[in-house]
Amino acid sequence: MTTVIYRSENESTEKVNNSSRGAPLTFFSSSMASPKKKLQGLVAATITPMTEHGEINFSVIGQYVDYLVEEQGVKNIFVNGTTGEGLSLSVSERRRVAEEWVTKGRNKLDQVVIHVGALSLKESQELARHAAEIGADGIAVIAPFFLKPWNKDVLINFLKEVAAAAPALPFYYYHIPALTGVKIRAEELLDGIQDKIPTFQGLKFSDTDLLDFGQCVDQNRQRQFAFLFGVDEQLLSALVMGATGAVGSTYNYLGKKTSQMLEAFEQKDFSSALNHQFCIQRFINFVLKLGFGVSQTKAIMTLVSGIPMGPPRPPLQKASGEFIDNAKAKLKSLDFLLSTDLKDGNFESCS
Ligand SMILES: CC(=O)N[C@H](C=O)[C@@H](O)[C@H](O)[C@H](O)CO
Ligand SMILES: CC(=O)C(=O)O
């Protein structure tokens, strides 16, 4: 079970973490080796920067961390997922990328969650163990998507074997049926999941089925799970449904904007929250119509942050020059570019 633990002013026991003294600081699950804060708020799904030759460009990750924290106010990351092309990297690359984010994020980021899903259980377990060794804050796993689990129990058994390789790390199931083709409903999967996976800590839900998402929340109200929504253009609806946070690609460059929406929602200023969501939707709707995926996310992040993200790895193809020009004009008109020299004063009413 989960309990909130408090630390008193003069307590001189082992340092739990660097949060302020006397505050309710962590959610501690007795099944875990170490106390962990609940993952909440915005989580950026990190891009894996690459060189023009298609190798991982580790050299910009430190800068990338600073950009997220200082410019976007985002302090949680989700590494080697869809946006990070995790499934297009070798196991050794995935290990090195995870290590670099953990190292560069130390004392800067709140949580680093590593996606360790793979088609091979062995590889997934190796990555889970590795995530624990390097001091990551959690692991997430998608459903294996070539030889697929055909029902809930079969999928849970796979996830359980992975989770067991990192028994001290919070475990998140990453539900993304459009990409995995595994359409087992999350609500069904969550039913009784902690009996099988004691480290289960939450769900990253990347689907538009708000009935399924709502029922995940409703049926698990007593549990301190994180319900992280993954469709950025619909986040406000998911907040209404009980989302406790969000993982997404757009928080890399629209983190600040999206935080304004979260704040308005928290203040119960729903009309402002809706305005913020509509502004974000205008951008995402625009790029979706041009063709929007990981390649385009890399190009947009390069544009907005100034940090070179490089091309994607095949089979993905570099975003076209035409896409970049159009996306840039839209970002400008919505006032979504942070640096002033790119502004031209011709705004839609979004700032
Ligand atoms: C399929 C995919 O990559 N989904 C991302 C995360 O789950 C989202 O962040 C989307 O990129 C975003 O919602 C735009 O559609
Ligand atoms: C968007 C997301 O969560 C991912 O890239 O995995």
pLDDT at 225: 97
Percentage of residues in the chain having pLDDT higher than 90: 85
- pLDDT exceeds cutoff 70 at 309: yes
What contacts 139, CB < 8 A, 6 or more positions away? 113, 114, 115, 116, 127, 128, 131, 132, 162, 163, 166, 169, 170, 171, 172
Ligand 2 atom, smallest distance to 248 CA: 1
User: pLDDT of 222-264, one tens digit each?
Assistant: 999 999 999 999 999 999 999 999 999 999 999 999 999 999 9
Q: How far is it, in rounded angstroms, from Cα 262 to Cα 255?
A: 10
Atom of ligand 1 nearest to the CA of 204: 7
122 in active site: no
The catalytic residue among 174, 251, 257, 298 is 174
Ligand in closest contact with the CA of 141: 2
Does 147 have pLDDT greater than 70? yes
Inform me whether the pLDDT recorded for 14 exceeds 80. Answer: no
| Average pLDDT over all residues of the chain | 90
Centre of ligand 2 from the C-alpha of residue 269, in Å:
28
Q: How far apart are CA 271 and CA 116, in angstroms?
A: 39
| Ligand 2 center from residue 212 Cα (angstroms) | 19
- What's the pLDDT score for residue 186? 98
Q: Band of the pLDDT at 21, cuts 50, 70, 90?
A: very low
ipTM for this model: 0.96
83 labelled ligand-binding: yes
In angstroms, rounded to a whole number, what is the distance separating the alpha carbons of residues 177 and 82?
A: 12
% the chain with pLDDT above 70: 86
Token code pair at residue 347: 């705004």
Q: pLDDT band at 348, cuts 50/70/90?
A: confident
Is pLDDT above 50 for 213? Answer: yes
Task: Say how far apart CA 174 and CA 142 lie, in whole Å.
Answer: 5
Ligand nearest to the CA of 300: 1
83 Cα to the center of ligand 2, angstroms: 5
pTM as predicted: 0.89
Spatial distance between the Cα atoms of 113 and 134, rounded to a whole number of angstroms: 12
Residue 12 confidence (pLDDT): 36
- CA-CA distance, 227 to 238, in Å (whole number)? 9
Query: 174 an active-site residue?
Result: yes
Confidence at 291, pLDDT banded by 50, 70, 90: very high
Identify the burial level of 267 via C-beta atoms within 10 angstroms of its C-beta, where 0-12 means exposed, 13-18 middle and 19 or more buried.
exposed
> CA 146, CA 295: separation in Å to the nearest integer?
23
- Per-residue confidence at 294, pLDDT binned at 50, 70, 90? very high
Tell which residue, 345, 347, 344, has the closest CA to residue 333. 347
Question: Which of 167, 55, 43 shows the shortest CA–CA distance to 105?
Answer: 43
Which among 36, 38, 75, 204 is annotated as catalytic?
A: 204
Q: Which atom of ligand 1 is nearest to the CA of 294?
A: 3
User: Do residues 21 and 224 touch, judged by C-beta distance below 8 A?
Assistant: no
Whether 254 is in the pocket of ligand 1, judged by its Cβ within 6 Å, is no
Per DSSP, 326 falls in state H
Alpha helices, DSSP H, located in 106-254: 121-133, 152-163, 177-180, 186-190, 193-196, 210-218, 235-240
**Ligand 2 within 6 A of CB of 247:** yes
Domains of the chain: 1-30 (no CATH), 40-266 (3.20.20.70)
Q: What is the pLDDT of residue 15?
A: 35
At residue 351, the pLDDT reads: 59
Q: What pLDDT digit, counting tens, does each position of 28-79 carry?
A: 444 444 446 899 999 999 999 999 999 999 999 999 999 999 999 999 999 9
**Nearest C-alpha neighbor of 31 from the set 147, 196, 227:** 196
Question: Comparing 53-67, 177-191, 285-299, 332-346, which segment has the lowest mean pLDDT?
Answer: 332-346
Mean pLDDT, range 333-341, rounded to an integer:
78
Judge whether residue 84 has pLDDT over 50: yes
Contact 173, 162 (CB under 8 A): no
Whether 231 lines ligand 1, by a CB cut-off of 6 Å, is: yes
Give CA–CA dist 152/346, Å, rounded. Answer: 52
